[in-house]
Structure 1
């Protein structure tokens, strides 16, 4: 199976290629399934790097100002739960399990919204201005030719 992602930049070049692929399959007596979906890019590596940098900055801030020893992973757990809540899963008579949203499931737009929320939350509630290295911050929030992660 071949998947093609068409954008405003490549669709004119891609359409003849897609057409020839369809024609070739039909000529070989094969049925063709065409499916159209909106493509949503998964979070970018820049977004992921910025989030983990911020998680560490928050952990450091909590240690310095409140004496709390938390890892960046601990901060991640707390912030994701605070932003997205949790879900209780029950199966039969088994003990219920509490799960949180996975940030890996966020697309780039949703992840940018999450990063903006983190920034505002820290400023408003923790009196912490998160570091914004210009190159990483701009790439994370506004993109530009960045690779993406789905893990």
Structure 2
């Protein structure tokens, strides 16, 4: 079960579901603030844009992605198998707003390179998490 508790009714529904759980087997219940994950539209648009930029630069979309992660999100220093490593931070933990800011940085890079990125039917949803009115 998964609940997003944003109303009194949903809070009551979640509480009822927990109260009806049998004593055995044991259950784990976690309560944490809700965070909207980046959307599929954002992810699709990001990779489409990477393809356009990569074609212009003569590289692979994955190379553009790694460069953007370093430029925008920075890096982490970790010890892996006893070796110090510098690893780009990941986009997977970004929420819709964070991904929107990340995509704005992709647009800025493209503009600096003189590239016009295509806008899809889902452009506003990809950028802001909501369809245009």
TM-score after normalising by structure 2: 0.80
1:131 corresponding residue in structure 2: 118
Q: Deviations over 1:36-55 (max 9, x none)?
A: 42211111110000000010
The answer to which structure has the higher helix fraction is: 1
1:66 corresponding residue in structure 2: none
Q: Deviations over 1:10-45 (max 9, x none)?
A: x243233234335445xx779x98754221111111
Structure 1: runs of 5 or more not aligned: 63-68, 146-151
SS of the residue corresponding to residue 129 of structure 1 reads: coil
1:109 corresponding residue in structure 2: 97
Q: Which has the higher contact order (CA 8 A, sep 6+)?
A: 1
SS of the residue corresponding to residue 99 of structure 1 reads: strand
Q: Deviations over 1:112-143 (max 9, x none)?
A: 110012112321x212221112x121221232
Distance 1:90 1:22, change over 3 A: closer
Task: Give the Cα–Cα distance (whole angstroms) in 1 for the partners of residues 125 and 69 of structure 2.
Answer: 22
Query: Structure 1 residue aligned with 2:52, among 25, 48, 57?
Result: 57
Task: Give the Cα–Cα distance (whole angstroms) in 1 for the partners of residues 63 and 80 of structure 2.
Answer: 27
Structure 2: runs of 5 or more not aligned: none
Task: Give the Cα–Cα distance (whole angstroms) in 2 for the partners of residues 99 and 20 of structure 1.
Answer: 44
Structure number with bigger Rg: 1
Count, aligned residues: 130
